[in-house]
Amino acid sequence: MYDEALAERVRPLLADQPEVTEKRMFGGLAFLVAGHMGVAVSGQGGLMVRVLPERTAEHLAEPGAAPMEMRGREMRGWLRVDAAVLDDDDELAHWVELGTACARSLPPQA
């Protein structure tokens, strides 16, 4: 089960953005922009964040960021951000903006 309190803090950050939907995925709650997942409140804690693959290393240098792994494989263009870092509202807003901006840069899904 994902952290509902964290999801409640993410929702207002996306309330005024168009084409944002929520979907339960991977044991968490994903926030999609025009059909692309930008961020997700993870069932394992913290936040999954979509980033431009070529900027992954840059974002890994930020506090609390780690490579996203699924089934033992690193997912290029995705990071996991530790829940402790997200206690700070500015940090949460930073990561949500980063993920949704990346998703918004992709072509709309049909």
Q: Under CATH, what is the fold of the domain 4-104?
A: Aspartate Aminotransferase, domain 1 (3.90.1150)
**What count of other Cβ atoms lies within 10 Å of the Cβ of residue 44?**
12
Give the pLDDT of residue 1: 82
DSSP state for residue 17 in the 8-state scheme: S
Helix (H, G, I), strand (E, B) or coil at 54: helix
Q: What is the pLDDT of residues 12-51, one digit of tens each?
A: 999 999 899 999 998 899 999 999 999 999 988 999 999 9
CB 96 within 8 A of CB 10: yes
Phi-psi bin for 100: left (phi > 0), alpha (psi -120 to 50), beta? alpha
pTM, to two decimals: 0.93
Q: Name the amino acid, one letter, at 28.
A: G
Distance from C-alpha of 66 to C-alpha of 61, rounded to nearest angstrom: 9
Domain ranges of the chain: 4-104
